[in-house]
């Protein structure tokens, strides 16, 4: 019975964090305007935690902010938080509501809560 309870808790805890893109220091913020690619991409350090493995390229964690999926004010706020984290060498949490690499939530924080 204890083993079954432990297995259920493990599955539930994994599901609860499934939308996490990553949590770590920002190593880059790029704004693309290349034809069809008009995104802001935030790059986190290779030692980022709570990582969605599909959002890793060459060891670097990334998340996209796509203009067609967010209003301009929201994009500006997320870009500003990412830039502030980069400039201050603080950690940033990126989260996706769709379990993808599309950023829907950005938090400048010291730990995940």
Q: Is residue 113 part of a domain?
A: no
Query: What's residue 10's pLDDT?
Result: 37
Give the residue carrying structure tokens 């400048």.
108
CATH number at residue 46: 2.40.50
When divided into structural domains, the chain yields a total of 1
Query: What's residue 35's pLDDT?
Result: 85
Q: What are the C-alpha distances in Å from 91 to residues 23, 26, 58, 86, 98?
A: 7, 7, 20, 8, 22
Range of the domain at 72: 2-108
Q: What is the pLDDT along the chain (113 residues), one digit of tens a residue?
A: 444 333 333 333 333 445 899 999 999 999 988 888 889 999 999 999 988 999 999 999 999 999 989 999 999 999 999 999 999 999 999 999 988 999 999 999 888 88
Q: Is residue 57 part of a domain?
A: yes
Q: Is residue 50 part of a domain?
A: yes
Q: Is residue 98 part of a domain?
A: yes
């Amino acid at each position: 019975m204890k083993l079954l309870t432990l297995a259920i808790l493990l599955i539930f805890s994994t599901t609860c964090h499934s939308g996490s893109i990553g949590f770590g220091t920002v190593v880059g913020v790029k704004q693309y305007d290349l034809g069809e690619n008009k995104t802001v991409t935030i790059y986190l350090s290779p030692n980022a935690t709570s990582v969605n493995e599909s959002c890793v390229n060459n060891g670097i964690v990334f998340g996209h902010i796509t203009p067609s999926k967010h209003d301009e004010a929201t994009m500006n706020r997320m870009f500003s938080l990412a830039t502030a984290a980069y400039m201050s060498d603080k950690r940033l949490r990126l989260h996706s509501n769709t379990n993808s690499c599309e950023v829907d939530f950005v938090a400048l924080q010291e730990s995940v809560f």
